[in-house]
């Protein structure tokens, strides 16, 4: 491991599909970090706008930045498309050269101390396998935390992995639910996950607030792939349906959970990891009830 007074080496990988509106601001914010990343790989996921030109222009003037093309279809495949692009960028690097692997989205603007704060967490605790801040969205001129997930979860948009931990879990799965599976694989292997609630990143393209049936269908598939089991899925389905003010939609989640089961959808976790997840979730539930 690097010595205490030495900066950890960061590799940042940014999958980008039609991100001409936000990409420049994202890259500028990373180039202005108080603690500089050693490499920024931007993967053009077969964009049809000027994303490629923007990346190449930055590449000409900044040796830190590299352009990588990933040939893919425009069809949006939840989880699969973005992780396939991420893996293309990952394969362009020698991971042995880096201590921290970051998967960042192209529509984020990072505060200048972001990587410095992340660096400190990893250096202070060798058990930390994953670290990240929180996303904030603009609301009438004010930036507010985008509260869409549990406080112990790091959004898929801004994950930073210790390279050793990333290797220990076999990287990321090209399947919807990958950004929960990674965390439970890490916890199962005794790594810690640190969410920096006071480290806010501007999310320029907020997560959709209108939820169609397809959203709830995908949640049912994810709960099955993560080995939630029916009862936990029922509780989780009621929770997300209530949070999104569409309580009756919980039935769609359950229907697609059962459909995934009948179709033998691929699991994201091993049997043992799934048991660990269920125990973890039940502890959270009981804690909320009795505390």
Q: Check pLDDT > 50 for residue 2.
A: no
- List, in order, residues 6 or more apart from 115 with CB less than 8 Å away: 10, 30, 33, 34, 35, 36, 37
Please tell me whether the overall predicted TM-score, pTM, comes out greater than 0.85 for this model: yes
Mean pLDDT of 101-116: 97
Residues of the chain with CATH 3.90.550.10: 10-203
CA distance 152 to 147: 12
* Closest to 57 (Cα-Cα) out of 84, 17, 30, 20: 20
The class of domain 10-203 in CATH terms is alpha beta
pLDDT at res. 207 = 67
Residue given tokens 């293309």 in the structure block: 88
* Residues recorded for the chain: 291
pLDDT at res. 3 = 44
**Spatial contact of 243 and 207, defined as CB atoms under 8 Å apart:** no
CA distance 100 to 11: 6
**Spatial contact of 17 and 51, defined as CB atoms under 8 Å apart:** yes
Virtual torsion, Cα 89, 92, 97, 103, nearest 10 deg = 0
CA distance 286 to 179: 24
**Spatial contact of 92 and 85, defined as CB atoms under 8 Å apart:** no
Region of 239 please: left (phi>0), alpha (psi -120 to 50) or beta.
alpha
76 confidence band (pLDDT: 50, 70, 90): low
CA distance 59 to 70: 17
**Spatial contact of 9 and 99, defined as CB atoms under 8 Å apart:** yes
CA distance 270 to 274: 6
Question: Which secondary structure element, helix H or strand E, spans residue 129, and what is its range?
Answer: strand 128-139
The two three-digit tokens of residue 227, written as one number? 């080995």
DSSP class of residue 207? Answer: P
What is the sign, positive or negative, of the torsion defined by CA atoms of 67, 183, 227, 290?
A: negative
Q: What is the pLDDT of residues 191-215, one digit of tens each?
A: 999 999 999 999 998 765 556 888 8
Q: What is the pLDDT of residues 155-199, one digit of tens each?
A: 999 999 999 999 999 999 999 999 999 999 999 999 999 999 999
Task: Output the CA–CA distances (angstroms, integers) from residue 121 to 116, 153, 161, in the order listed.
Answer: 9, 16, 11
């Amino acid at each position: 491991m690097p010595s205490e007074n030495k900066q950890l080496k960061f590799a940042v990988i940014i999958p980008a599909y039609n991100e001409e509106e936000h990409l420049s601001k994202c890259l500028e914010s990373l180039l202005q970090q108080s603690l500089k990343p050693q490499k920024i790989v931007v993967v053009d996921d077969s964009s049809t706008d000027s994303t490629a030109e923007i990346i190449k222009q930055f590449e000409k003037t900044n040796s830190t930045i590299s352009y990588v093309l990933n040939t893919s279809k425009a069809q949006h495949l939840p989880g699969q498309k973005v992780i396939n692009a991420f893996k293309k960028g990952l394969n362009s690097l020698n991971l042995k050269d880096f201590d921290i692997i970051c998967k960042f989205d192209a529509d984020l603007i990072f505060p200048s101390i972001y990587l410095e704060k992340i660096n400190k967490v990893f250096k202070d605790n060798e058990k930390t396998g994953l670290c990240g801040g929180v996303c904030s969205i603009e609301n009438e001129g004010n930036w507010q935390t985008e509260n869409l997930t549990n406080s112990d979860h790091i959004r898929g948009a801004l994950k930073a992995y210790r390279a050793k931990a990333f290797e220990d879990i076999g990287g990321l799965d090209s399947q919807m639910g990958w950004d929960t599976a990674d965390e439970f694989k890490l916890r199962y292997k005794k790594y810690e996950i640190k969410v920096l609630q006071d480290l806010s990143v501007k999310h320029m393209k907020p997560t959709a607030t209108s939820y169609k049936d397809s959203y709830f269908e995908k949640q049912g598939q994810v709960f099955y792939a993560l080995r939630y089991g029916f009862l936990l899925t029922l509780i989780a389905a009621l929770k997300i349906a209530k949070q999104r003010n569409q309580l009756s939609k919980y039935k769609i989640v359950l229907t697609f959970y059962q459909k995934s089961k009948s179709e033998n959808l691929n699991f994201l976790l091993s049997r043992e990891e799934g048991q660990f997840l269920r125990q973890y979730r039940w502890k959270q539930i009981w804690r909320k009830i009795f505390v």
